[in-house]
Amino acid sequence: MRILVVNWLDRENPQAGGAEEHLHEVFGRLVARGHHVTALVSGWRGCETRTTLDGIEVHRAGGRYTFSLAGPSYYRRVLADRGFDVVVEDLNKVPSFTPYWVDAPVVLVAHHLFGTTAFQAASLPVAAATWVLERSIPAVYLGIPTIAVSESTRADLVARGLRADDIEVVPNGVDVAAYVPRPESKTVHPTLLFLGRLKQYKRVDLVLEAVARLARDGIDVEMRVGGTGDQSDALRALAARLGISDRVKLLGYVPDDVKLALLQSSWLHVLTSPKEGWGISVIEAAACGTPSVASDAPGLRESVQHDQTGLLVPHGDVDALAEALRSLIGDPQRRARMSAEARSFAEEYSWDASALRVEALLNRVVDTSAPE
């Protein structure tokens, strides 16, 4: 197949996150299986306009806020004559409306929709635009074959008006050969870990408040925060106000080898956002035998098995979050049990399996749309 993937970002973009990891893990594997994959994405200041990543031919057009106009224009000028068999639109932030401007059948990939949480993630004008554009999804994509990364996202899409029969759930995976437990690498003192973009809607502030409460109770805990984003300075200032600057390590961007070491050596992984498509970092932590404490929220209810691979707490409840962390920090036998169960759970998911299921769906779409 000749596949065009339309995504807001690629994995080299400074703003890249879980959606971009999904793009490269899945479609890089499809390249290895003999398919030709082209990605049309936005660029950033100083980037190369064309490159090859994981065997994927990457074309960058426009920027973060202009891609919705630059992408279709670039497609018509440069890519329209490529003879693509299928176009995959990665619904990330706002729709790209590919059914209106590409010539091949479209498959939609949905991680999660923001809804009103957009107003926690962006400025008022950007959040309002995201909210309005998401409301157009049923009109634009009704009848389009769709991949959702979790049952929560599928339910959200159905609630918004898409047909359940058009949506197949294909969970994200993890490289279980690379992400493995290293019990001997665990830190001596309790360590918590957040990995992800430092955006307001991720609510890392809740974890810092919980750490402050633990510190006041004499629990010697360190919080590691890996990732970049516009909340970095705000989190540093909050740590200072809470008197826990010496306990909070803002690590900035972490390369893959450091990320793996952090996941293996930390006692607990923490993710307190109000909604996730799936929570790739939860499964990566689980593969490393590190339980997660997370918000009882869409997406996370599936990637964290409560009281088995970690704990779920009511979103925004700092008391419950602090108590969950306290209970696991103080109970090594319970942590060890969860560590083993987390690894077993992660082994049920792999990027290879995800890629094969995506390939099968794309083949069905191409076969169905082929002329008699």
Question: Each residue of 97-114: pLDDT tens digit?
Answer: 999 999 999 999 998 775
pLDDT tens for 112-130 read 775 545 445 445 555 555 6
* Structural domain contains residue 130: yes
For residues 8 and 109, is the Cβ–Cβ distance under 8 A? no
My answer on whether 151 and 77 are in the same domain is yes
* Structural domain contains residue 68: yes
What is the reported pLDDT for 248? 97
Cα–Cα distance measured from residue 87 to residue 65, given in angstroms and rounded to the nearest whole number: 22
My answer on whether 77 and 108 are in the same domain is yes
Three-state SS string over 172-216 comes to CCCCCCCCCCCHHHCCCCCEEEEECCCCHHHCHHHHHHHHHHHHH
* Structural domain contains residue 178: no
What is the reported pLDDT for 128? 57
pLDDT tens for 32-45 read 999 999 999 999 99
My answer on whether 150 and 188 are in the same domain is no
What is the reported pLDDT for 119? 44
Cα–Cα distance measured from residue 46 to residue 148, given in angstroms and rounded to the nearest whole number: 33
Buried b (16+ CB within 10 A) or exposed e, 221-259: bbbbbbbbbebeeebeebbeebebeebbbbbeebeeeeb
My answer on whether 22 and 126 are in the same domain is yes
My answer on whether 122 and 231 are in the same domain is no
Number of folded domains that form the chain? 2
**Per-residue pLDDT band at 54 (split at 50, 70, 90):** very high
Tokens of 117: 């949480």
pLDDT tens for 315-359 read 999 999 999 999 999 999 999 999 999 999 999 998 999 999 999
My answer on whether 81 and 228 are in the same domain is no
The CATH number of whichever domain residue 125 belongs to comes to: 3.40.50.2000
pLDDT tens for 142-160 read 999 999 998 888 998 999 8
- Higher-pLDDT residue of 173 and 208 is 208
Who's near 69: CB < 8 A, 6+ residues apart?
A: 62
Its domain, for residue 364, covers: 2-173+350-369
Cα–Cα distance measured from residue 219 to residue 212, given in angstroms and rounded to the nearest whole number: 10
My answer on whether 354 and 340 are in the same domain is no
Query: What phi, psi does 357 have (nearest 5°)?
Result: -70, -40
Who's near 149: CB < 8 A, 6+ residues apart?
A: 22, 109, 110, 111, 112, 169, 170, 171, 172, 277, 278, 299
* Structural domain contains residue 195: yes
**Per-residue pLDDT band at 289 (split at 50, 70, 90):** very high
My answer on whether 279 and 194 are in the same domain is yes
| pLDDT, average across residues 172-179 | 91
* Structural domain contains residue 289: yes
My answer on whether 168 and 197 are in the same domain is no
* Structural domain contains residue 37: yes
| pLDDT, average across residues 265-271 | 98
Query: What phi, psi does 37 have (nearest 5°)?
Result: -120, 130
My answer on whether 30 and 7 are in the same domain is yes
Cα–Cα distance measured from residue 335 to residue 157, given in angstroms and rounded to the nearest whole number: 36
My answer on whether 165 and 190 are in the same domain is no
Listed residue (345, 351, 202) closest to 273, CA to CA: 202
For residues 102 and 87, is the Cβ–Cβ distance under 8 A? yes
| pLDDT, average across residues 302-322 | 96
What is the reported pLDDT for 113? 77
pLDDT tens for 198-244 read 989 899 999 999 999 999 999 999 999 999 989 999 999 999 999 99
- Higher-pLDDT residue of 39 and 20 is 39
My answer on whether 223 and 157 are in the same domain is no
